[in-house]
Every structure is written in C-alpha cells, then in structure tokens.
Amino acid sequence: MIKKLLIANRGEIAVRIIRTCKELGIETIVAYSEADKDSLSLRFADKSVCIGPANSKESYLNSRNIITAAALEGCEAIHPGVGFLAENPGFAREVEEAGIIFIGPKAEVIELLGDKVKAKQTAIKNKIPVIPGTKDPVDDEDQAVEQAKEIGFPIIIKAAAGGGGKGMRIVRNEKELKGILKIASHEAETAFSDGRVYLEKYLENPRHVEVQILADEKGNVVHLGERDCSVQQNHQKLIEESPSSGVTPEMRKAMGEDAVRLFKNLGYRGAGTIEFLVQDKNYYFMEVNARVQVEHPVSECISGVDIIKEQILTCSGDALNIEQKDISLHGYAIECRINAKTPGEVTLYLPPGGFNVRVDSFLYSGCKVSPFYDALLAKVIVFGDNRLEGIKRMQRALDEFILEGVETNISLQKSILAHPLFRKGKFGTDVLSHIIKEEKN
C-alpha cells in the first residue's frame, strides 16, 4: 500500500481525494497554485506545495513542477483528479518514468482513448455499436460531402482530440457543410493543437448514458451500472442520475457487458467511463473517459463502492476487492452541479444536510471563487428509494442551500427538477433548451 500521495488538482475533487486517502491511512500532499493558497484542500491535506502562479499553464498543467514536487516530498503516487493533466498521456508517461505511480490507466491506453477516432475504431473491433460516421478523419471538402450524404444529414463535425463539450458543429445540409469543415478543423487546431476532425450522424435528442467501470491490472473488470447525463447546457452535464429512466434491464445488461469486454481488452486499470448515446432502444458508443468523473458519487450511492478508493488501490497494483456478482445496485441517486455564474467572495455558505444528502464542495464562508478555473462550486448528491423520492429530496436540499456572495445556477436547477418533462423521465439532451425557452416566454 502506498503511504504518500500527491494530488495534482484543486477544488472539490482535491477535497474528495483527500477524504478517501485519510480513511486509507495515506498521507496527502496537495499541489496548489498561488490563486488557491486559501483553498480548503490545503487545510485538509497533510501538507501543501505551491507549484506556480494562477495561470494553470504554469501550475496545474506544469508537469515538471508537479513531478518535482512529488519527488522532493517522497510521494509514491500522483492523483491527477479530473481535468488538467488527468487524460494527458505525456504526463502519465513522465510520472511513471520518474518512478512514481500514476493514478490512472497506462499512458498507451490514455493515448488510444484520447483520440476519438481511434477509440471508435477500437469499439468497432470489440463489437460495440457505434454512431454511424466516418472511420477516419476527413480533410477534403468534396469527400466530406460524399461521406455526409452516405451517413445522412444532419451530421455533427467533431474534433478527434476534442473534449469538454467543445469543438462540435451540427450541420443540417450539404450547403452548410461546404466551408464549415475548414473552420471546424482550424478551431480544433487552436483548441486542441490537433486539427483532425471527423463526421458522425447527429442523433436528434438522444439520451446520454454512461457506464462506470473499475478494473485492476490482473484483468478483473466490473461495472457499477449506468448514469444518465442527458440534462446538459452547451453539451456540458448539469444533472446526473442513476438508474436512467431511459434504459431497460436488457439494455443495462448489454451495455454493462460491452463495457466490461472493452475495458478487459484494453488492459485498463483504475476507474473509467464508457459513454453512449441512446435513441429508442438502441445505444451507440461515443467515447471513453479514462479517469474518474465529476459525477462518480451517483454510482457510489447506488453501489456502496468508494470509487476513488478502488481507483487508488487498483492503480497501485492491488486486485479489485469486488466481483460483479457482489455488486448490487439499489435505490436511486441524483447529482446537481452547482456552478458559479461569476467569481467573487462567498459571504455565507451553509450546505444542506439531513437524511441521504451528500455535498462535495470546497467552499466555506469567506472563501474566494477564483476567475481562473472552472465554475463548479459544489455537487449536491442525494439518495432515495426511487426517482420521485430522490427528486423531492433534492428539491428539499436545494431549498435549504445557503450560498451568498456569488451568483449560482441553483434556481435553474430548481426549475429543471420541477419541470414536467424532467419529472416524467421522458427526455433527451434537448431538455434544458426546452425548459429555458419556456421560461423566457
């Protein structure tokens, strides 16, 4: 078992990782930027090391500083958290070359999965249904038009190296496609330093359903069921629930089996997620996230498994503690992401509590919300016997939430929870735009 671990991240995920490490008896060192010198993770960790200025390029993305800090502190492992360097194969490789364990899959696996085109080809090889589209990147306009006609409009142009909901363009006809391909490729080059783009059939209002996986280096792989992340704003998730109201028991079984087969064949280790789009009774592979995800607590609630614990242990060489037959998923869990609309000082913070309510956050009264990083302030996760009970509990929790000083999306979250479309459970990724449109009218 490792004794000392460096956390190369910030915010709520740094706090989340420290909590599990404490329970495992692992000493934590948190790497922080100058902007985060008063962050909660510094108070909870055993020690903290400043790795650079606020600009993440010089701190949270500065692999040399992070690895040097870990080596100087005698850390046996680095946890990259979510975002920043979590899915950077170069970083994973450098960490391992420095003789430190990277809490994530092997660099080659991250590399393969980070390329959406290659990931899709791998899914096809593993007999997993994929969204119809080009098998290779496209750069020639005429060729793209031919391929788009074959796939059938509408189509979506995606960046091979894309992520974070960025770099996607929906194209409804041939005329629109002409000219846009080069722009999309240019945008991808600017955002991801990789201009390769590919085409995919654009599914109208599908559901986003993903399966949580845990794997060890010995080839054991289990899944913890699915999460439905269809409530999105600009392709970014806002609410996640499990189980999904759009997945039948047969689909759940098939998706789980497909996921386990793929991760076994990848030689994957740690925590990972396979994302699907679902339309009617069909599901299609979209991509793999080779890391722990923001919404992992939802699966922890319904399975009783500490995902971060299993991730740390399996990446350190331990065998998985659990077999598929031991995993029983029960009840219903939902997470609402509370985002800041503006930076500023949190003048008063009093998170909700009570039966089956969990809040993962790094806020405290008087803390500052920095303009330098992402907007996620807190995740409210509740657990219930069934969907209706869970939604009502979440409404109660959000009503209780006191967060003053910065503007948040709590009232938007409340409108979604109260909306009949959401309550009925019959919706797709367009649900939020419907709700917002209605509110405007």
Q: Is 54 in the site for ligand ADP (CB under 6 A)?
A: no
Give the nearest distance from C-beta 371 to ligand ADP in angstroms: 23
8 Å CB contact between 340 and 420: no
Within residues 318-357, the interface with ligand ADP by CB under 6 A covers none
Q: Is 156 in the site for ligand ADP (CB under 6 A)?
A: yes
Choose, by CB under 6 A, the member of 80, 104, 137, 206 that binds ligand ADP.
206
Q: If 0-12 CB within 10 Å is exposed, 13-18 middle and 19+ buried, where does residue 327 land?
A: middle
Choose, by CB under 6 A, the member of 208, 252, 269, 296 that binds ligand ADP.
208
User: Which helix (DSSP H) or strand (DSSP E) does residue 168 occupy?
Assistant: strand 168-171
8 Å CB contact between 224 and 299: yes
Instruction: Spot the catalytic one: 227, 269, 291, 358.
Output: 291
**Phi/psi of residue 173, nearest 5 degrees:** -155, 175
Give the nearest distance from C-beta 282 to ligand ADP in angstroms: 13
Choose, by CB under 6 A, the member of 55, 71, 141, 163 that binds ligand ADP.
163
Q: Is 293 in the site for ligand ADP (CB under 6 A)?
A: no
292 three-class SS: coil
Q: Is 232 in the site for ligand ADP (CB under 6 A)?
A: yes
Give the nearest distance from C-beta 430 to ligand ADP in angstroms: 9
Q: Is 246 in the site for ligand ADP (CB under 6 A)?
A: no
How would you list the strands of the sheet with 27-33, edge to edge? 47-52, 27-33, 4-7, 77-79, 101-102
User: Which helix (DSSP H) or strand (DSSP E) does residue 92 occupy?
Assistant: helix 89-97
User: Which helix (DSSP H) or strand (DSSP E) does residue 223 occupy?
Assistant: strand 221-233
Distance CA 2, CA 5 (A): 7
Q: Is 275 in the site for ligand ADP (CB under 6 A)?
A: yes
**Sequence-distant (≥ 6) Cβ neighbours of residue 125 within 8 angstroms:** none
Q: Is 129 in the site for ligand ADP (CB under 6 A)?
A: no
432 three-class SS: helix
Q: Is 131 in the site for ligand ADP (CB under 6 A)?
A: yes
**Sequence-distant (≥ 6) Cβ neighbours of residue 99 within 8 angstroms:** none
**Residue 290, both tokens:** 């080779």
Q: Is 228 in the site for ligand ADP (CB under 6 A)?
A: no
Among residues 128 and 286, whose Cβ is nearest to ligand ADP? 286
Give the nearest distance from C-beta 21 to ligand ADP in angstroms: 28
Is 291 designated active site?
Answer: yes
CA angle 208, 263, 99 (to 5 degrees): 115
Q: Is 392 in the site for ligand ADP (CB under 6 A)?
A: no
Q: Is 200 in the site for ligand ADP (CB under 6 A)?
A: yes
Half-sphere exposure of 260 (CA within 13 A, CB side): 16
Choose, by CB under 6 A, the member of 74, 90, 152, 165 that binds ligand ADP.
165
Strand partners, 138: 197
Give the nearest distance from C-beta 88 to ligand ADP in angstroms: 15
Q: Is 24 in the site for ligand ADP (CB under 6 A)?
A: no
User: Which helix (DSSP H) or strand (DSSP E) does residue 144 occupy?
Assistant: helix 141-151
Choose, by CB under 6 A, the member of 286, 301, 378, 403 that binds ligand ADP.
286
Q: Is 202 in the site for ligand ADP (CB under 6 A)?
A: yes
Q: Is 162 in the site for ligand ADP (CB under 6 A)?
A: yes
Give the nearest distance from C-beta 215 to ligand ADP in angstroms: 20
Work out whether strand 376-384 and strand 332-339 pair parallel, antiparallel, or are unpaired: antiparallel
Q: Is 218 in the site for ligand ADP (CB under 6 A)?
A: no
Q: Is 425 in the site for ligand ADP (CB under 6 A)?
A: no
Q: Is 273 in the site for ligand ADP (CB under 6 A)?
A: no
Distance CA 214, CA 244 (A): 20
Residues that bind ligand ADP (CB under 6 A): 131, 156, 162-166, 200-203, 206, 208, 232, 235, 275, 277, 286-287, 429
Which residues carry out catalysis? 291
